[in-house]
Amino acid sequence: MSNTTPTSSATLSGPALGLLWFGAAVSLAEIMTGTLLAPLGFADGVKAILLGHMIGGVLFWLAGYIGAKTGKSAMETVKRSFGQRGSTLFSLANVVQLVGWTAIMVFSGAAAANFLVPQVGNAGWSLVIGALIALWIALDLKNMSRLQSVTAALLFLLTILLSVVVFQAEAAQLPAAAQQTMSFGMAVELAVAMPLSWLPLVSDYTRSARHAGRDTTWATLAYFIGSSWMFIIGLGAALFAGTGDVAAIMAKAGLGVAAILVVVFSTVTTTFLDAASAGISAASLNPKLPERAAGIAAVVLGTALALWAPVNSFESFLFLIGSVFAPMIAIMVADYFVLKQDASAQLVSWPNLALWLAGFGLYRYSMSWDLPVGNTLPVMLIVASVACLCGVVGRKRAARAVTA
């Protein structure tokens, strides 16, 4: 997973936004998440992927449209519902998730590299990749965007090759069904969680859109197609290879040393962006923090997590992302599209913050539900409905106080 933030003065066309978000979707992280759905089998797994991405795509569009319409960055749009200080909580949560993604990507890149040179070991490769990412941040390479485009293109070609290998009927023989150890609803949630993880970032891109509705739609459809494809590749590859380990899948597919090198190199260049953004967000919380130093600190922390935390099993991390950001966007949608209210002049919108906390608790509790549409959609509908109700009641009370 990676992100860059265009300058607010620049404008991006719909096709440009589409290419940007398609490139963001072509990621090892998306393939890894798709492998988690293998217990459902191929047919049900694809259904869960598409349904989850439809739900997540709607949320992606709503969040992106707010940024495109207001011309504000993601965290600036959060202030509209939670106030100047109230948005700090979500900036902190964004730092946490970016550090988490850094850890996941360092771990997965090290696992792939270990297939190439096993003598170094996973821990050794984690340190090497972490050091390279820190070097990228320290040098502040000016050609990083161009280098990122090249590696994304190489990874894209690799996924095409992997698709051919995995989905050739005579070679893959993918089972339509499997011994299900995962419910359909949980699989939908995993598919929803990936678009949800972009909600704190999407407006950083769409705020530069030339036409809010049309260009946000370009971005959403491109991400939907790209991410769904990556998930399906991961699902099919896991069934084909009998493992969710991406490096093992590529090794079994016979893709060779070149493929492993592309994955390792793309891990460094894309994770650089995650760690750098974590540093930027951390510096926004405390202006005294130098962005570059904070980014390197994020790399160190992410590498440490890759060494000692069980990041190869990151379902819980994805669900945590959903529980934080799903209630947040539900409240933002209610405020912007229904109530037409803006709390950015306040320090903290305590009613919305309390409602978010209740939504967070409801999401965690709802994980025990087994619904075919997952739990994000029901929780968001409940939170948004309560937000609208509270807003209407609050306005009536304010009107009565004025006339009294």
Q: Is 301 part of a structural domain of the chain?
A: yes
| Three-state secondary structure call for residue 147 | helix
pLDDT in tens, 182-192: 889 989 999 99
Contact 232, 107 (CB under 8 A): no
Q: Residue 316 domain-assigned? A: yes
Q: Is 117 helix (H, G, I), strand (E, B) or coil?
A: coil
Query: CB under 8 Å to 343, separation ≥6 — which residues?
Result: 79, 80, 81, 82, 83, 86, 335, 349, 352
Q: How many domains does the chain have?
A: 1
Look at residue 2 and tell me if it is in a domain.
Answer: no
The percent of residues above 70 in pLDDT, for the chain, comes to: 82
Contact 53, 228 (CB under 8 A): yes
Structural domain that includes position 265: 14-403
> 148 lies in a domain?
yes
**Residue 77 located in a structural domain:** yes
> In 10 A of CB 142, how many CB atoms?
8
pTM score, two decimals? 0.82
The residue to which tokens 């941040």 are assigned: 137
Query: Has residue 200 been placed in a domain?
Result: yes
Averaged over 34-51, what is the pLDDT? 92
CATH number at residue 35: 1.10.4160.10
117 lies in some domain: yes
pLDDT in tens, 22-41: 877 877 778 888 988 988 88
Count of Cβ atoms closer than 10 Å to residue 404 Cβ: 5
Looking at 191-195, 256-260, 366-370, which range is the least confident one? 256-260
Establish if 318 belongs to a structural domain: yes
